[in-house]
Amino acid sequence: MPQLVPLRGNAAQNVAIIYSLFATCKIHDVNVYEWLKYVLTAMPTFPSSGSKNCCRRIVPSCADEKLINEP
């Protein structure tokens, strides 16, 4: 049986942020896989300044309709 390795440094906080974003996707019926694929492909085009506008583009609750799960 594999042993779990405790997270050190900022790793625990980073994992908590990612899990929170995934949970937000689920609450807003956003497809987690499609959202993550969008974020990872769109991020290189964002300005390095981290403006509020680019942050809004990746928040799951503001997701584009094409990322919303079909009922």
- How many C-beta atoms lie closer than 10 Å to residue 30's C-beta? 25
Q: How far apart are CA 6 and CA 22, in angstroms?
A: 21
Residue 61 sits at φ, ψ, to 5 deg, of -70, -15
Whether 56 is covered by a domain: the verdict is: yes
Q: Indicate the pTM of the whole model.
A: 0.66
- Taking only the tens place, the pLDDT of each residue in 5-54 is 666 778 878 888 888 888 988 888 888 898 888 888 877 777 766 565 66
CA-based max dimension of the chain: 46
Number of domains the chain is built from: 1
Query: 24 near 36, Cβ under 8 Å?
Result: no
Whether 6 is covered by a domain: the verdict is: no
**pLDDT given at position 25:** 87
In which band, very low, low, confident or very high, does the pLDDT at 64 lie, cut at 50, 70 and 90? low
Determine the structural domain holding residue 34 and report its residue range: 11-67
Whether 50 is covered by a domain: the verdict is: yes
